[in-house]
Amino acid sequence: MWAPAFAGVRGERDLIKSFLSAASAAVLLAQPLAAQTLRPDQAKFRELYQELVETNTTLSAGSCTAAAEKMAARLKAAGYSDQELTLFSVPEHPKEGGLVAVLKGSDAKAKPMLLLAHLDVVEAKPEDWSRDPFKLVEENGFFYARGSADDKSMAAIWTDSLIRYNQEGFRPKRTIKMALTCGEETTYAFNGADWLAKNRPELVAAEFALNEGGGGRLDAQGNRQVLAIQVGEKAAQNYTLETTNPGGHSSQPVPDNAIYELADAIEAIRGYEFPVRFNETTRAFFTGTSAAVGGEMGAAIKALLADPGDKAADAIVSRDKTFHSTLRTTCVATLLKAGHAENALPQRATANVNCRIFPGETVQGTLAQLRTLAGPKVKVSANAPIRPTAISPALDPKILGPIKTVAAKHFPGVPLLPIMSTGATDGIFLEAIGIPVYGVPGIFFESDLNGAHGLNERMRVRSLYEGRDYLYDLVKVYANQG
């Protein structure tokens, strides 16, 4: 067992070196987007994309089930049988269903691959938007609508790719599976990826999965700067801090005050920095970044890589909020509620603390640290649902190699780096059952992440079509690995 593992590590190191040499040469190299005329197959894709985007899938008023059914109908019209399409939901959440589709491979020995995307979107108030958030508007080179970027762009591309493969008569060596799920955007909602992993793991069983979380970055003029593949993510977990007190009349204050005790606990959490941690992905990312940025920041990154306990270097690197979060577990207060009357001492005060936990660190370990910081007068508990421990996939050449090769064809000269997401995706649920999940590049985003979760979310038209072509080719390469 040891010899193959060692050989695999050596191959990963060679691959990382190739990433870093490209990054060192031109991490911020701007590559102009070529002009593109809409092809007939792109016109068909646009119809699918529009139908999906204009199907409201917010938790409050929409239906992921309806969106899944529409995608299933398109797949069936393209030749997929009922046996190859599984629509799923639970009685308690009839509008939060999803779809699993299968394109069977020809090689029984080749393990399947899985394409993952979520159908649900963040809430959008039409009165706050410049356009109707649930109508796809093409304007000035962008598609505007809620979900146009996050994550219906990927859900539409995966569905469209399966349709094209079947219509072209493409028969992959390995089986291609697709899971379109609900609940990714809302912590307390029914989560389809979690449900599949726990209740129908055979439906999504795969050697690896491709998901959101990667992509590319554009400058303000729409020029390509860098491609990224997400290899690992943090685990998102909420905790409640609570203090209670008998209270009393506000005219007779006492030191034992629920609000003050909670405030002290929050201040202690605010002042605490979790220790710097590196894994294979973040070490590769920071090594490439240090060579690209140079100067004081580059020197500080190199010092921190050599000694994660270097406080002076940490202070410099952590001036960048993205770097700061990538280096460690972070916890931040996000909600407060206290008191019951203006003229009464508070009987109860609560706060929500949102933590993003570094891969390998646990929910319980983070809870223990928060309890130490909060002190004995504050009750600290982990909120349901409890997220699994984040597991970072390996920098596997079998996965990363095709990504780089296909990128060289579609986006020549654009550097590619592995990243760890400081956010969270549904990939964490699949990783918990042994399926490594990679956030693939291909779709280039604006520097503000296309306004995802905010007002007037948008997707650059050319980025969508070019990302579609890249991902279509990439999946074919994996599917033929055998």
Residue type, 320: D
Angle at 72 between CA 70 and CA 78, to 5 degrees: 110
Residues 6+ apart with CB under 8 A from 177: 100, 101, 102, 103, 112, 113, 114, 115, 203, 204, 206
Classified as helix, coil or strand, 263 is helix
Given 3.40.50.720, 3.40.630.10, 2.40.30.60, 3.30.70.360, which CATH number is that of 235-382? 3.30.70.360
Q: Could you tell me how far CA 92 lies from the centroid of its own chain? A: 26
What is the rounded radius of gyration, in angstroms, for the C-alpha atoms of the chain? Answer: 24
Predicted pLDDT at 338: 98
Query: What strand order describes the sheet that includes 142-144?
Result: 137-139, 142-144, 458-460
Predicted pLDDT at 423: 86
Complete DSSP assignment for 271-308: T--PPP---HHHHHHHHHHHHHH-HHHHHHHHHHHH-T
**DSSP-assigned beta bridge partners for residue 380:** 241
Written as six digits, the tokens of 209 are 């999965």
Predicted pLDDT at 26: 44
The tens place of each residue's pLDDT in the chain, 482 residues long, gives 322 222 233 333 444 444 444 444 444 444 554 445 789 999 999 999 999 999 999 999 999 999 999 999 999 999 999 999 999 999 999 999 999 999 999 999 999 999 999 999 999 999 999 999 999 999 999 999 999 999 999 999 999 999 999 999 999 999 999 999 999 999 889 999 999 999 999 999 999 999 999 999 999 999 999 999 999 999 999 999 999 999 999 999 999 999 999 999 999 999 999 999 999 999 999 999 998 899 999 999 999 999 999 999 999 999 999 999 999 999 999 999 999 999 999 999 999 999 999 999 999 999 999 999 999 999 999 999 999 999 999 999 999 999 999 999 999 999 999 999 998 899 999 999 999 999 999 999 998 989 999 999 999 999 999 999 999 999 999 999 96
pTM: 0.90
Domain assignments of the chain as residue spans, ordered by start: 2-233+390-479, 235-382
Packing angle between helix 64-77 and helix 152-168, nearest 10 degrees? Answer: 20
Predicted pLDDT at 36: 56
2-233+390-479: CATH number: 3.40.630.10
Q: Report which of 256, 266, 263, 239 is spatially closest to residue 347, judged by C-alpha positions.
A: 256
What secondary structure, in 3-state letters, does 458-469 show?
EEEHHHHHHHHH
